[in-house]
Amino acid sequence: MNRAAQANAPAIPAGPLRRRGLRIFNSVASALLTVLLPIPSIADGPLERLADRVPLGAPGMVVLTDVAASVTEIAPLAADFSAADRRIMAYLPLTLVGGFEPYQAWKISTEGGLTARLGFEIEEIGQIASWRGGGDAPVVITGLPGRADTIAAALQSRGFAPRMRFGTTVWHRLRDGQTDAAHAEEDPFSQRAGYPGRFVIDDSTLLFARSWTGIRRLASQPLSMRLEPDIAAILRAGYLAKDRGRLLEVILLGPQKPLNTAVSGFYGTGPAAAPKTANAIRRLQTRGDPLPPFRRHGLLLWQNGQQIAGAVAIPYETQADVQAAIGRFPALLDRTLSLYAGGFVGGVLRYQRHFSVLRAGKRWVALLAFEETGGKFSGISPMMFVTNPFGRLREMRLSGDLPVLLSGR
């Protein structure tokens, strides 16, 4: 439906009828997507189902984490830890939720856990989705059957009040945009500023956003982001690559950046940065042909015992483009300067390389994977977040090296 048609369409009344109607529409839309994007006959994975709760067109980076799988996979690697340290390890999957930091995992795990704060414990969580949402920091937590009463009681004990809005109960605290330092770091959502919160308990799923507009969008069952073919292909590729291990996390990112934009993102755009930017661009132009243009890419994490793999997944419409990407990437690794670490990017990613092409629906996916076999953790350290291949790729995204590596002309 185009925007003009949407504007003239009759409004669907708020409440359960509207949610049921949109659920039916999503089911029909998903069926049409299956026709348009034929996929191998394996069941949807947990993160694919989670993506159906993330709105189509969600802005910025979207992080999908299989917390249940992560807790299961981490446990054997921390077998020699004390009970208290194993408890902290179980909370580490929360570190990507809305800016939640590792030290907060320690704090919550040692100060009563999540039960007193949210009415459930970390081991009960299925999956978590989080994204920026224009400052709303929306979060979707699945896998909480039978927890509605305990969640409501925990929220009420912390000063959240119930209000009926758009056909459902919303637990809310503080006005939109208001902060209160007295509530700082109470849970993974309030953070250091003590942000406002709105929660909706929807069957076995908990929805969160900082504003009324944000929670309304989540609670109204928006169209699934999997209706975007590139996103569907990235997620599908994560489950098709079974030889890499169990898929634990997917970070969905945007389009390829031009080289000058990627370099400017590292140095900035002020007058003092201009000479450095120009020099870096001049040196990077000798690296050879860049990757063909793409609209979306993702970072994927798998684990199989002590084997940990991370990958960049890039969907293309044509086989020619995906083959070009696979063919050019090894040379780009060895010829692209690391603006952050010095040397070449290939020296940062010193892992076993597995570059392959997967067919996922109507997309060809370049799966640029790096793998290492580690061992049991010797202790909890910030380095455990960056030394595995996925952690390194995530660090390179933050430092600016990954956008430069993947940039166009």
CA distances from 121 to 201, 314, 363, 397 (A): 16, 35, 39, 31
Positions of E strands within 58-151: 62-65, 128-131, 139-141
**∠ CA 111-117-123, rounded to 5°:** 80
- Select, from the ranges 25-29, 122-126, 196-200, the one with the highest average predicted confidence (pLDDT): 196-200
Rounded to an integer, what distance in angstroms lies between the CA atom of residue 145 and that of residue 179? 31
Residue 262 neighbours by CB distance under 10 Å:
23
Residue 24 confidence (pLDDT) above 60: no
pLDDT digits (tens, 9 = 90+) for 324-350: 999 999 999 999 999 998 899 999 999
Positions of E strands within 220-328: 246-253, 297-304, 307-316
Radius of gyration for the alpha carbons in the chain, expressed in angstroms and rounded: 22
**pLDDT classification of 101: cutoffs 50, 70, 90:** low
Q: What is the mean pLDDT of residues 158-173?
A: 96
Mean pLDDT of the chain: 85
Cα–Cα nearest to 99, from 73, 68, 72, 138: 138
Helix (H, G, I), strand (E, B) or coil at 349: coil
pLDDT at 382: 46
Q: How far is CA 335 from the centre of its chain?
A: 29
Token pair listed for 66: 């299989």
pLDDT digits (tens, 9 = 90+) for 338-384: 999 889 999 999 999 999 999 998 899 999 999 987 655 555 554 45
CA distances from 361 to 33, 34, 241, 367 (A): 9, 8, 14, 15
Rounded to an integer, what distance in angstroms lies between the CA atom of residue 184 and that of residue 67? 24
DSSP 8-state secondary structure symbol assigned to residue 227 = G
pLDDT at 75: 78
pLDDT at 23: 45
Residue 3 confidence (pLDDT) above 50: no
pLDDT digits (tens, 9 = 90+) for 185-209: 888 788 878 899 999 998 899 999 9
